[in-house]
Structure 1
Amino acid sequence: MASFSVDILVPVWNRPVETRSCLVSLVESAPEARLILIDNGSDRETERLLEEFAERLGERALLLRNDITCGFVPAVNRGLSRAEAPFVVIVRNTTVVAPGWLEPLVELATARSETGLAVPRLVLDAATSRRGRRRPDVRVTEVSHGSFAAMLIRRSLFERMGGFDEELDGDVWCLRDYSRRALAEGYLTFAAEGVPVVCRDEVLLGSPGRRRELVDASAAAVATRWGQAASYLVYFPSTADPEVVRTRFSVLLRAARMGHLLTVAIGCKLRRTVSAAGLGSVHRSIVVEELPRFFAPSALRRIVDRCAAEGNDPVCVAGIDGVDPPGEMPPCRPFAWFENEVGAREEAFYRRGANGNPVTAPADCVTVTIPGGTRKGDERKEVAL
């Protein structure tokens, strides 16, 4: 029986042309991976296509079949329950990958045991994926949540906390919930952006009104479980001690991991320090804005107005207690208040102490190679009851 280091799940519901393109790209770019194809009640044309691929791939494929369409997330969860490799990758059947897309995800998860989920660089434009001949440098940063277009999951994380919530929207709020659950277990969500992966906008099913109701209900459910996300504008003057700034960025990172949006306004003299320490790219939800030497008050005002226009009216925080932002700004909270808010949320929703460490650490994040392939007694083609 063959052993695989990666299982790639591809839930499929019709769209045979896109499905063929997706599967061909996966077979060519990931020869060491096993494909778990979940036929989610497709039409006969798509069904024959999946049977053809499973037949040709032999042990490299496991075909699961649902007699009726059960929804994308239930199909994902079924595939996760049958995965055996230490790393499992979810790929939509409308996604097309290129050589070199998978390796950065596996290398990241292998090197950093706290990696629970990882996404590649996702683009909507196919022309973008063909630019450049050499494999691009991989940029790693933390992100708020993954993507069903393409996403790696550590199998031990799934075994520890289960699958995705099938009652949520099957999109952003479902993904945010899963990353928060992973965080509560001590795992992080990363983007390892190297070779572009082309994804397409999904065709939305059902009436707009029903979809809106589901999205609103999902957003409310996630807010109840993990607290309401907020937007903060944190100001550091040019005279701030760089070591203090670096220390306080660790608090900002803890806040970003819980879903908060943070805009960090810094004096121009601090920009070099922040860039050299890599603080500007630690998390995609932390945006660093350099203030000009002159007219800093008007620049700050524009940042506040832009955040408000995007629906994220920010709470202003003084990065250095006692040094408020210049100009006519909203009331500014001291950083000690902000740090207490972060610690209180961790304690309330993530069972963590004030230092940000889990009360109960993950059982074992060390990657162990587990034999892949089809389990004894299973056939590559199954019919769900």
Structure 2
Amino acid sequence: MTDATIDVIIPVWNRPDETRNCLVTLINHTPGARFIMVDCGSERDTERLLQELADSLDDRALLMRDDSNIGFVPAANRGFESSEAPYLALVRNTTLVSPKWLEPLLAYAGEHPEAGILLPCLDPGEECSAPKELERGSFAAMVVSRELYRRIGGFDEGMDGGAWCLKDYTRRANAHGFITVQVPTPVVHHQEEVQLGSEQRRRETQQRSIALFRERWGVGASYVLHVPKGVEVELLGEKLEWLVKGARHDDRYTVLLPASLNQAAQQAGLATLHEHVTLVPLPRLAWDGMKKRLFEKIASEKPGTTPVTAVDGIPFPWSDRYLSFSELCERIKARYQ
């Protein structure tokens, strides 16, 4: 057993300079951690580097070796299987963490046990100023709670080792009551991973992964909601909670609302609930034709988008065919059955 707070798993295949930089920043900025380095048949210079670091860290390190490059996801799973700490982190060997990168993640996890997958602020990546639920984690750097891992295990090695594998992991987490959250932290820098293999093989793997994902979880839908004047921010918050439930099943929601209500929603933290729930303020002084064009532009960007009136009994202003909010809720409920 180990008394480490977190086990950090780092799959490695060559790239000794990047690997050294990654491990040095991790060792310097991740107190209370044990480092599980999974060497996937690296060449001698990388192999020697890992051995030297493991020797210097003593019981703070575990070095595992394979004779060949088994791939990032299988290596990550091997590291997970050897972990014992309350939290598990997965970090690519090209990632550079910053001081205090981990503390906000563990603090958030302690206050929100449903947050089974946690991401730091990543560069490159989207702005990260408030906690936000995401559709997937990132292999650049992510933290997984022990309880989530106990429930669902590791990643599906039959998928693409990228976005669809990560989306699948989040959906499996959702099915057990856990969510994926990005938390404001000092920035963690990473490089976009170079894809190995022929383009045709990568395309076939991605197509297979998409088909498998949709077979398991279905295909999400796209909606545009209109919120009329007079709706209070408390009621808006209740409605957005329903949309977050739908977003966890891959639905996308764009919410058109009065500018004053949007401002109140921003102040209440309702604009960062989920990456697939987007609030769009209607122009204050625009005439109805301009607002209609805004709706049509949003709908044209996502073919098949369904209009929804956010308040039952009030017609959707720019389409004769639309759902009431109650009908939308029934659709969301059906996805959970």
TM-score range, shorter chain: over 0.9
Q: CA deviation at 1:139?
A: 2.2
Residue 214 in structure 1 maps to residue 208 in structure 2: no
Choose which of 250, 254, 265 in structure 2 pairs with 1:263. 254
307 and 20 in structure 1: CA distance in 2 versus 1, 3 angstrom threshold: farther
22 and 307 in structure 1: CA distance in 2 versus 1, 3 angstrom threshold: farther
With normalisation by structure 1, the TM-score equals: 0.83
Name the counterpart of 1:152: 143
Distance (Å, rounded) in 2 between the aligned partners of 1:248 and 1:299: 22
Greater RCO (Cα-Cα under 8 Å, separation 6 or more): 1
273 and 31 in structure 1: CA distance in 2 versus 1, 3 angstrom threshold: closer
Residue 334 in structure 1 maps to residue 334 in structure 2: no
* Contact preservation (8 Å) 1:235, 1:324: no
Name the counterpart of 1:295: 287
Q: RMSD between aligned alpha carbons?
A: 2.1
Paired residue secondary structure (2:120): strand
* Contact preservation (8 Å) 2:224, 2:299: no
* Contact preservation (8 Å) 1:238, 1:268: no
Name the counterpart of 1:57: 57
Name the counterpart of 2:231: 240
Residue 191 in structure 1 maps to residue 176 in structure 2: no
Residue 170 in structure 1 maps to residue 153 in structure 2: no
Distance (Å, rounded) in 2 between the aligned partners of 1:206 and 1:296: 53
Q: For structure 2, which runs of at least 5 residues remain unmatched after alignment? A: none
Name the counterpart of 1:322: 313
Off by >4 Å, runs of 4+ in structure 1: none
Name the counterpart of 1:10: 10
Count of equivalent residues: 336
Residue 181 in structure 1 maps to residue 181 in structure 2: no
Q: For structure 1, which runs of at least 5 residues remain unmatched after alignment? A: 129-136, 348-385
Matched letter for residue 260 of structure 1: D
Paired residue secondary structure (2:19): helix
Which one is further off, 205-214 or 50-59?
205-214
Which one is further off, 27-36 or 314-323?
314-323
Name the counterpart of 1:285: 276
Q: CA deviation at 1:113?
A: 1.1
Distance (Å, rounded) in 2 between the aligned partners of 1:119 and 1:95: 13
Distance (Å, rounded) in 1 between the aligned partners of 2:330 and 2:96: 45
Q: CA deviation at 1:248?
A: 1.1
Distance (Å, rounded) in 2 between the aligned partners of 1:194 and 1:330: 45
Q: CA deviation at 1:242?
A: 3.9
Q: Please list the CA deviations of residues 267-306 of structure 1 after superposition, one character each: whole Å capped at 9, or x if unmatched.
A: 2232233223321111121110000122354345335424
193 and 300 in structure 1: CA distance in 2 versus 1, 3 angstrom threshold: farther
Matched letter for residue 302 of structure 1: L
Aligned runs of 1:16-27 on 2, under 5 Å? 16-27=16-27
* Contact preservation (8 Å) 1:16, 1:49: yes
Matched letter for residue 165 of structure 2: C
Choose which of 204, 216, 220 in structure 2 pairs with 1:225. 216
Q: Please list the CA deviations of residues 161-220 of structure 1 after superposition, one character each: whole Å capped at 9, or x if unmatched.
A: 111000011111111111111111111111112201001011111122221121122112
307 and 121 in structure 1: CA distance in 2 versus 1, 3 angstrom threshold: farther
Which one is further off, 174-183 or 245-254?
245-254
Q: CA deviation at 1:59?
A: 0.9
Name the counterpart of 1:122: 122
Which one is further off, 251-260 or 197-206?
251-260
Q: CA deviation at 1:159?
A: 1.6
Name the counterpart of 1:102: 102
* Contact preservation (8 Å) 1:104, 1:138: no
Matched letter for residue 335 of structure 2: R
Paired residue secondary structure (1:239): coil
Q: CA deviation at 1:246?
A: 2.3
2 and 335 in structure 1: CA distance in 2 versus 1, 3 angstrom threshold: closer
Paired residue secondary structure (2:116): strand
Name the counterpart of 2:334: 344
Paired residue secondary structure (1:51): helix
Q: CA deviation at 1:325?
A: 3.5
30 and 184 in structure 1: CA distance in 2 versus 1, 3 angstrom threshold: same
Matched letter for residue 346 of structure 1: Y
Q: CA deviation at 1:48?
A: 0.9
Matched letter for residue 101 of structure 1: W
Q: CA deviation at 1:241?
A: 4.4
Name the counterpart of 1:358: none
* Contact preservation (8 Å) 2:118, 2:137: yes
Matched letter for residue 253 of structure 1: V
Q: CA deviation at 1:330?
A: 6.9
* Contact preservation (8 Å) 1:233, 1:263: yes
